[in-house]
Structure 1
Amino acid sequence: MSKKDRRRMMAQIWGTPTSHDIDMVDEGDQIVVFSNYRGIINWWLEIFKIYYPGIKCREKGDVIKIKPSTGVTIKLNKTTRLMKISGKDHWPWFVDTFGALLDIGNGDAVELPSDGKSVSENSVTRFLQLDKDDEEVQDLLDRIPEGGGIMHHEFIMRLWKSLLDDWFGVGASVYVVTPRIDSERLFLLMLLMIRNKGTGFQVTLMTPAKQDGERFDKTMEKTKRRLKEVKSAHDARLVSDVKLEWVLLTLNIMHENFSTNFIAAYKDGEGEILTTTAHFHKSHFHQEQKDNVNYSRISAHELRKNYLLPLNIGNNVF
């Protein structure tokens, strides 16, 4: 299996809903899984004991060694909080089993003592300058006049992030539609996806293949480079290769020529939509710009018929 295929497989496994944020690196001869949660090692041990009743754990110093299967060795370090998976059969075991272990951790395993969010998630949240606060989202929506109105660019940017975060957070089907999107907005969209991994959301970005004489592919490449370069407060990469791969697998990108802007979501038979004259671009979000904004709650049928189908977004939506 190629490195690219292995990375794609790891990204799919990382996308399994988990109650705690983890990350993983494929080093070829071993896979390293890490988390910044205090007590994560006890969490892993509980999972292994549920999945492998009667499994033996050998402890020496700070390292706990487990052999869950022939040709597979797992070492848990209580100090570094690292899990190292090695052995001649470690890759097939990881592919076949690790997702099931995460499922157990999300349901049956004992919860860890609460000590806040992981460093990784906090780093993303700090970068977004966004706190998940349902009341704040509603406060922003309440500021929009009935029937819509002209709003300042800073307000629109804040509402754009907050609504997307809210929709991702409840596992909605989300649609981002704009004739112009720059690397900054695409970068934020991807961070919002990572922040809400595990909720089961779906997301579609609809934008022309060519914008302002530049191909969208170039904007995507610029965004990917930025995701790889940005560091957290601890000087580690904000987004690992596995998380980036998961984003690229999850984000559904469609191309169509049009000149309208909206973000919309569907969940449990109800639809929401924010329409605006603002492009999702620095020319509208980083300058003294004012644009029309309107927010509506509509039926799933109206969202599909009046907004999605005219842009050829999925005949089988809903």
Structure 2
Amino acid sequence: MSKKDRRRMLAQIWGTPTSHDIDLVDEGNQIVVFSNYRGIISWWMEIFKTFYPNIKCREKGDTIKIKPTVGVTIKLNKTTHLLKVSGKDHWPWFVDTFGALLDIGNGDAVELPGDGISISENSVTRFLQLDKDDEEVQDLLDRIPEGGGIMHHEFIMRLWKSLLDDWFGVGASVFVVTPRIDSERLFILMLLMIHNKGTGFNVTLMTPAKQDGERFDKIMEKTKRRIKEVKSAHDSKLVSEVKLEWVMLQLNVQHEDFSTNFIAAYKDGEGEVLTTTAHFHKAHFHHQQKDNVSYSRLSAHDLRKNYLLPLNIGNNVF
């Protein structure tokens, strides 16, 4: 199996909802699972004891050693918080079993008390500069005049980011439509997806294959390079290769030529749409630009009929 195929499989496993942020690294002869949650070792032990009621553990110094099955060895380090899976059969075991372990950790296993918050998740949140106030989105929407109005670029960017985060967070089907998107906005979109992993959202990006003489593929490659270069506050990668692979698996990119801008979402038969004259690009979000903004709620049927189908999207999402 190629490295790319292995990374894709790890990305699918990483996409399993978890109560604590984790990351996966394939080192060939072993898989390393990272987490900055301070209670992660106890969390793992609860999971293993639930999944393997008769499992035996050997503890020596800071290391807890577990052999869940023949050909597989798990080592938990109480100091580094690392979980390492090795052995001649570690890969098939990991692919077949680890997702089920995460399901237990998200449901049946006892969630541990304490203030151990994922540093990785906080790093993404800090980078996005997200306001955790539950009233943030509604406060921004209330500032839009009835029937729409002209708004400043900083407000539009803040609303764009907050609405997308809100929609991803409730597991909606989300649509990002623009004739121009730059690598910074694409980067933010990807981080918002990672930030809301596990909610069950779907996301479609509709944009022309060529924008101002630059192919979208080139913009995407530039974004990937940017993601790989950005460091967290702890000098580690903000987004790992596995997380980036997960984003690429989740992001549905479609190409069409048009000149309209909107973000929209639907869930449970209800739709929302934010339309604007602003392209999702630095030319509109960083240069004292002012653009028209309008927000409305509508049925999922009307969203599909009036906004998605005219652009040849939405045929198989309702």
- Give the TM-score normalised by structure 2: 0.99
CA contact (8 A) 2:150 2:290 kept: yes
- Sequence identity (%): 88
Alpha-carbon distance in structure 2 between the residues aligned to 1:293 and 1:9: 41
1:159-238 to 2 correspondence within 5 Å?
159-238=159-238
Question: What is the SS of the residue equivalent to 1:134?
Answer: coil
CA contact (8 A) 2:38 2:116 kept: no
The structure 1 segments of at least 4 consecutive aligned residues displaced by more than 2 Å after TM superposition are 131-134
CA positional deviation for 1:133: 2.5
Alpha-carbon distance in structure 2 between the residues aligned to 1:103 and 1:45: 14
Question: What is the SS of the residue equivalent to 2:48?
Answer: helix
Letter in 2 for 1:165: D
Alpha-carbon distance in structure 2 between the residues aligned to 1:122 and 1:274: 28
Deviations 1:139-180 (A, max 9, x none): 000000000000000000000000000000011000000000
Alpha-carbon distance in structure 2 between the residues aligned to 1:22 and 1:101: 13
Letter in 2 for 1:244: L
Please identify, of 47-56 and 115-124, the stretch whose mean Cα deviation from structure 2 is larger. Answer: 115-124
Q: Which runs of 5+ in 2 are unaligned?
A: none
Matched, 1:50 2:61: no
Q: Which runs of 5+ in 1 are unaligned?
A: none
CA positional deviation for 1:53: 1.1
CA positional deviation for 1:116: 5.3
Alpha-carbon distance in structure 1 between the residues aligned to 2:49 and 2:282: 52
Question: What is the SS of the residue equivalent to 2:65?
Answer: strand
Letter in 1 for 2:301: H
**Partner of 2:61 in structure 1?**
61
Matched, 1:114 2:134: no
Alpha-carbon distance in structure 2 between the residues aligned to 1:117 and 1:287: 37
* Aligned residues: CA RMSD: 0.7
Alpha-carbon distance in structure 2 between the residues aligned to 1:94 and 1:131: 37
CA contact (8 A) 1:206 1:253 kept: yes
Letter in 1 for 2:161: K
Question: What is the SS of the residue equivalent to 2:176?
Answer: strand
CA positional deviation for 1:314: 3.0
CA contact (8 A) 2:38 2:117 kept: no
Question: What is the SS of the residue equivalent to 1:264?
Answer: strand
Alpha-carbon distance in structure 2 between the residues aligned to 1:246 and 1:65: 30
Letter in 1 for 2:264: A
**Partner of 1:96 in structure 2?**
96
Alpha-carbon distance in structure 2 between the residues aligned to 1:199 and 1:131: 19
Deviations 1:99-139 (A, max 9, x none): 00000000011112231531111111111111233201100
Question: What is the SS of the residue equivalent to 1:160?
Answer: helix
Alpha-carbon distance in structure 2 between the residues aligned to 1:133 and 1:311: 35
Alpha-carbon distance in structure 2 between the residues aligned to 1:92 and 1:54: 22
Alpha-carbon distance in structure 2 between the residues aligned to 1:97 and 1:21: 18
Question: What is the SS of the residue equivalent to 1:44?
Answer: helix
CA positional deviation for 1:39: 1.2
Question: What is the SS of the residue equivalent to 2:235?
Answer: coil
Question: What is the SS of the residue equivalent to 1:88?
Answer: coil
CA contact (8 A) 2:17 2:103 kept: yes
1:280-295 to 2 correspondence within 5 Å?
280-295=280-295
Question: What is the SS of the residue equivalent to 2:266?
Answer: strand
- Give the TM-score normalised by structure 1: 0.99
